[in-house]
Structure 1
Amino acid sequence: MGESENQRNPNHHHVIIIPPPFQGHINPSIQLALKLASKGFTITFVNTHSTHDQITKSRPKISDDIFGPARDSGRDIRYITISDGFPLSFDRSLNREQFMEGRMHVYPAHVDELVGQLAGSDPRPDCLVSDTISTWGYGIAAKYGLVYVSFWTQPALVFSMYSHTHLLKINGHYGSIDNRKDTIDYIPGVEAIEPKDLSSFLHETDTSKAIHRVIPKAFAEAKKADFIIFNAMEELEPEPISTLKKTLPVYPVGPLFPHHFANPSIQMNLWSESDCSKWLETKPSGSVLYASFGSYAHSSKRDIETIAKGLMLSGVYFIWVLRPDVVSSEVKDVLPDGFQENVGDRGIVVNWCKQNSVLSNCGVGGFLTHCGWNSILESLWAGKPMVCFPLLGDQTSNRKLVVDDWRVGINLCEEGRLVSCDDVAERVKFLMSGESSFELRKNVELIRKKMENALSENGSSEVNFDKFVEDMKVRIEDTKVRRNYDRQLI
């Protein structure tokens, strides 16, 4: 009989990390990989061929060895790409429902094949980390005898709501032809919440779409995980997190930021970046509004035009990130005629930029955001208050945290609809005025200090991360012993 795994490599642990192909999930997954590698783990980071193709097109000079700089600093991170079941030419932005179905029913076979191959390699993987919204993580980990870690990249509030959709259905707040509109006060760990503040997916009365099968399946898998790590922190969401920890192995370890916040060493941007630094240098401190609606959600052409007119009327300086597919990959001209000529040098519109760098610039005084979770955390870390324009998914719940709970932002919508262009202008001017937004800025600074404390050596998130690492090592070793024992019985 050959040597057991423990005899061959008593201290070696190999973790596979597989994020979904969305920027808001890829970015924290990169930071998780780097953080685990700094603790001595071997990491295999997996993207889809399509994601990698987008990354390389956005930065033509980038090496295929994306984690090369990390290995140069002594961290063992390997990089692999696999098929998502669709050809590269398939328009994933335009055909989202078909793509979601493929991620549920086709993509898992490609993941299974890869994990099976890695299971026969050296070092053999010990742990699989997949995003909580994936529907296959636990099953594949169990098949190959791996520890399973579910990685949640949104607020604890949203995890609480998604993990209790059965209660929402029983009470008629979700999944009905006519969902109830009264206050929801029965979700464990969540204070009374209005239906409008649920994830946008839970507002829908048509539950035949793929997402309504993804959510229950994904959270059933998450509840079987050995560990659930949150890109969130206890100080910002104490009640949801403490309640979840009573029944689930939850470790809040966020926010997961790059070591050099404004200039990360490892980047996987899906869009070509514009350098806004020289333009920003010419603008007074705190005078520029940064606007971005993220990498995935779509807006309507009408709303884009309303915001554009509001920015023209506001008179403020701005940088506006508008992806080419922000309305649709089939709709290219989304701004009003003569927009750039009207604003002149007062504003620039780009497809993408280094968001952390822009937010960190002293010229930027506020953020018009779609309320993606990464964007919120980055804005708070950079000390910028927000004006909120949520579009999809968790963003409606995130808005509640920003505006109602933490009081670090204001609304750009009323009753679920964007305000008029005149009101856009007034709210932008309110945010950008140091006097009117004084309370917002003071609250942002208080939260920034909480984040700093959580990420300090003895802070809650660092302590939780160290405990997660130690607990995972123990679970890995226990799993190896069981695997060796089972092998001996065969």
Structure 2
Amino acid sequence: MSKNVELVFVPSFGVTHIIPTVELAKRLVERDECFSITFLIIPEPSGLIPQAYIDSVTNSSMNRICFTILQRADLPPPGSEPITFIALYIQNHLPHVKKAITNLVSKSNNNGSSVQLVVDMFSTTMIDVANELGIPSYVYFTSCAAALGLVLHLATLDAEIEGELLDYSSELNLPSYINPVPTLALPDIMLNKKGDGYKWYLYHGSRFRDTKGIIVNSVAELESHAIHVFNHIFSGIPPVYLVGPSLDLEGKTQPDSTTRSHYDRIMRWLDDQPKLSVIFLCFGSRGTLSARQVKEIAIGLERSGERFLWSLRSPPKTKFEKPYDYSNPEEVLPDGFLRRVEGRGLMCGWAPQVEILSHKAIGGFVSHCGWNSILESLWFDVPILTWPLDAEQKLNGFQLVKDLGLAVEVKDERDDLVVAEVIERGVRSIIREGGGEVRRKVKEMSKKCRDAVMEGGSSWSTLSCLIEDMSNIQ
């Protein structure tokens, strides 16, 4: 029997997790009026929260989505590995989460509604709260289905391989990937079985199995192989729902007074460029490069002769701070570079990525292969040149290039430094030579991604199944 459902989302901190989670929530409340959604927002370790984005959602017509900003909990001990730090920091918020959900459960008992919990892929310790309060829980995996398959398969790998994965083989047969995966393409933390980060990956994978369902920000047509694996190879896992892409496309970046002139400068420059003539280089909200690598990119871009827009940012001074814009980018660029490329190249710091990728002038995207960036690039029909930096990005790049043929490889898992000749060749292959088969496949996949979220599409239909599962509580 269908009744009102109060969904409580606990995303990991940071916009790369919060935004796709909120976009999923928007689609749920648009599709079924039985849903009301509360977000419990964990502040970043610095105390920051994405207030501008939260305000934009709150001030919109989404009156059944609300946000509760949790009190910042204690930080983990200094020196923790990134995955360990994230897991422990989120776990430290468990008392605040339990208090908030307990209050919602108490209210639901009075109005006859159902409370259910949706945790982030890194917030699985919160499943204990759901179990203690006797409410259903789901996990939202904000990366790709193939990476989910790796996390679910990790316990099997751990049992089969006694030593370190790095010492076992140069390649691994992972069920959710079509081709054998180079061991070095795994997240670095998985290569050290003695490390706490590896143990946390094992823990998260085991907790996914304790939920009522796993929701994935991906598309059936993009990852049909992984779907087959979930349905026919893996056992003992809950239903997996591919409901993506969940992207912030309507919100568009709203520059504040300090970034307005910067934003306008970028968009004016793009407006003056021919269609599909510009290569866009951007390495995510936290991605930075060494001074030596910056110089090689600059030389490669200059030699290519192609137009480019390059988001170049300086490494942060301390861990978990964000990169910052160079006050003078010439300090890391070759002498005279800006003068020589004036007119056909534009350097910037912060960049409004969605607006740039959607611009007619963009013909290719040198990307760190974060999953949100991949989905945005596919949505806007922009071929990627892969430049993974961290976490599961090497796996994402591998899948795009080797399994799907949707990208051109520039940096692979073995590269410490990508030399200018490789950069020059990659840029020319996409811009001057048109991208060939890769561009054709990207164009086809772009249409499939857009069709998937339309009525009757694969993600639309899968979301219907998820809604039915959530709303029909005995």
Does TM, scored on the shorter chain, surpass 0.5? yes
- Give the drift of 1:92: 10
1:190-236 deviations in Å (ceiling 9; x for gaps): 434223464323552x3444421221111111111111111112212
Instruction: State the partner residue of 2:206.
Output: 220
- Give the drift of 1:267: 8.0
Overall identity of the aligned pairs, in %:
25
Q: Quick one: which amino acid aligns to residue 163 of structure 1?
A: L
1:44 aligned to 2:33? Answer: no
Instruction: State the partner residue of 1:481.
Output: none
Contact 2:278 2:363 in 1 (8 A): yes
1:310 aligned to 2:304? Answer: no
- Give the drift of 1:359: 0.5
Contact 1:299 1:326 in 2 (8 A): no
SS in 1 for 2:276: coil
- Give the drift of 1:317: 1.9
Question: What is the number of equivalent residue pairs in this alignment?
Answer: 451
SS in 1 for 2:408: strand
Unaligned runs of 5+ in 1: 1-5, 57-61, 479-490
Contact 1:66 1:79 in 2 (8 A): no
CA distance in 1, matches of 2:87, 2:210: 23
1:15-34 deviations in Å (ceiling 9; x for gaps): 11121123322221111111
Measured at CA, do residues 431 and 416 of structure 1 come closer, stay the same or move farther in structure 2, by a change above 3 Å? same
Aligned ranges 1:287-366 → 2 under 5 Å: 287-325=277-315, 335-336=332-333, 338=335, 339-366=337-364
SS in 2 for 1:387: strand
Deviates more, 1:143-152 or 1:305-314: 305-314
- Give the drift of 1:458: 0.9
1:357-394 deviations in Å (ceiling 9; x for gaps): 11110011000000111111111111111111011121
Measured at CA, do residues 130 and 311 of structure 1 come closer, stay the same or move farther in structure 2, by a change above 3 Å? same
Contact 1:31 1:256 in 2 (8 A): yes
Aligned ranges 1:356-395 → 2 under 5 Å: 356-395=354-393
Contact 1:234 1:252 in 2 (8 A): yes
Contact 1:161 1:198 in 2 (8 A): no
1:211 aligned to 2:205? Answer: no
Measured at CA, do residues 456 and 212 of structure 1 come closer, stay the same or move farther in structure 2, by a change above 3 Å? same
Find the partner of 1:252 among 227, 242, 248. 242
Contact 1:295 1:323 in 2 (8 A): no
1:300-342 deviations in Å (ceiling 9; x for gaps): 3432332233223322222222344368659967732544344
Measured at CA, do residues 208 and 414 of structure 1 come closer, stay the same or move farther in structure 2, by a change above 3 Å? same
Find the partner of 2:71 among 83, 86, 110. 83
Aligned ranges 1:197-208 → 2 under 5 Å: 198-201=185-188, 204=191, 206-208=192-194
SS in 1 for 2:399: helix
Contact 1:85 1:102 in 2 (8 A): no
CA distance in 1, matches of 2:80, 2:310: 22
1:18 aligned to 2:41? Answer: no
SS in 2 for 1:179: helix
Q: Quick one: which amino acid aligns to residue 26 of structure 2?
A: L
Contact 2:252 2:355 in 1 (8 A): no
Measured at CA, do residues 283 and 190 of structure 1 come closer, stay the same or move farther in structure 2, by a change above 3 Å? closer
CA distance in 2, matches of 1:101, 1:184: 27
Contact 1:403 1:411 in 2 (8 A): yes
Contact 1:300 1:327 in 2 (8 A): no
Instruction: State the partner residue of 1:424.
Output: 423
Aligned ranges 1:47-126 → 2 under 5 Å: 47-50=41-44, 53-56=48-51, 62=52, 65-70=55-60, 73=61, 75-86=63-74, 96=82, 99-100=85-86, 102-103=88-89, 105-121=91-107, 126=115
CA distance in 1, matches of 2:317, 2:341: 22
- Give the drift of 1:177: 7.6
- Give the drift of 1:95: 8.4
Contact 1:67 1:79 in 2 (8 A): no
CA distance in 2, matches of 1:265, 1:183: 41
Contact 1:37 1:75 in 2 (8 A): no
Q: Quick one: which amino acid aligns to residue 409 of structure 1?
A: A
1:241-283 deviations in Å (ceiling 9; x for gaps): 122135431111111134xx3x4269899x9684221111111
- Give the drift of 1:101: 5.6
Instruction: State the partner residue of 1:160.
Output: 149
Contact 1:244 1:250 in 2 (8 A): yes
Measured at CA, do residues 387 and 74 of structure 1 come closer, stay the same or move farther in structure 2, by a change above 3 Å? closer
1:272-300 deviations in Å (ceiling 9; x for gaps): 68422111111111111111111234543
Q: Quick one: which amino acid aligns to residue 151 of structure 2?
A: Y
SS in 2 for 1:32: helix
CA distance in 1, matches of 2:317, 2:306: 24
CA distance in 2, matches of 1:141, 1:424: 49
Instruction: State the partner residue of 1:451.
Output: 449
1:90-127 deviations in Å (ceiling 9; x for gaps): 99999847743632542333322332333334677611
Contact 2:8 2:118 in 1 (8 A): yes
CA distance in 2, matches of 1:33, 1:268: 24
Contact 2:13 2:43 in 1 (8 A): no
Q: Quick one: which amino acid aligns to residue 361 of structure 1?
A: H
CA distance in 2, matches of 1:114, 1:144: 12
CA distance in 1, matches of 2:288, 2:97: 28
Measured at CA, do residues 388 and 188 of structure 1 come closer, stay the same or move farther in structure 2, by a change above 3 Å? closer
Contact 1:183 1:192 in 2 (8 A): no
SS in 2 for 1:129: strand
SS in 2 for 1:344: coil
CA distance in 1, matches of 2:143, 2:8: 21
Give TM-score, length-normalised by structure 1: 0.82
Contact 1:23 1:295 in 2 (8 A): no
Q: Quick one: which amino acid aligns to residue 194 of structure 1?
A: V
Aligned ranges 1:143-158 → 2 under 5 Å: 143-158=132-147
- Give the drift of 1:74: 5.3
Contact 1:132 1:218 in 2 (8 A): yes
Q: Quick one: which amino acid aligns to residue 333 of structure 2?
A: P
Q: Quick one: which amino acid aligns to residue 406 of structure 1?
A: L
Deviates more, 1:14-23 or 1:301-310: 301-310
